[in-house]
Amino acid sequence: MRIMGLDFGSKTVGVAISDPLLITAQGVEIIRRKEENHLRQTLARIDELIKEYEVEKIVLGKPKHMNGTEGVRVELTEEFKQKLESRTGLPVIFWDERLTTVAADRAMMEAGIRRENRKEYVDKIAATFILQGYLDLLSNQAKG
């Protein structure tokens, strides 16, 4: 079994996949689209990746504000969640993604990636942090 992590943005979706033992998350790709509401190709690509990696569950970042309130991005993400569930038939779990983009940016800075190149990777790394947080929760629940 593998789990997919997604960081849903206005024009991109960062994708990460777990290893079969559900221990680590690896960034796979960033799906890009020209317009915000054009999701057909995005959903088709996610479907392809689900089949390729034999994914059985999806963890989707929920973009709450730092104070815990929900804005327009949460509404759009909830709509995306419904489309994912209906298209794939898989359970989609929300994961609080606050600070994942900040953590991804910090990790790239520490790795020496130049500021102008960070946009190329940030969504994939954020998806990896979202999924790794969920995998860590599963691991801690199993221990205890």
Residue 91 DSSP class: -
Query: Helix or strand or coil: residue 127?
Result: helix
The pLDDT, as a whole number, for residue 98 is 67
Cα–Cα distance measured from residue 119 to residue 124, given in angstroms and rounded to the nearest whole number: 10
Domain chopping of the chain, boundaries: 2-143
Q: Which phi and psi angles does 49 have, rounded to 5°?
A: -65, -35
Residue with tokens 């599963």: 138
The answer to whether the beta carbons of residues 77 and 62 sit under 8 Å apart is yes
Spatial neighbors of 26 by CB under 8 A, at least 6 apart, are 16, 17, 18, 19, 128
| pLDDT averaged per 10 residues in sequence order, the chain, 144 residues | 94 95 95 86 96 97 72 86 96 84 70 73 86 91 79
Fold exhibited by the domain 2-143:
Nucleotidyltransferase; domain 5 (3.30.420)
pLDDT at residue 107, as a whole number: 73
Residue 114: what pLDDT?
Answer: 78
Write down the pLDDT at residue 92.
98
Residue 48 confidence (pLDDT): 97
pTM listed for this prediction = 0.87
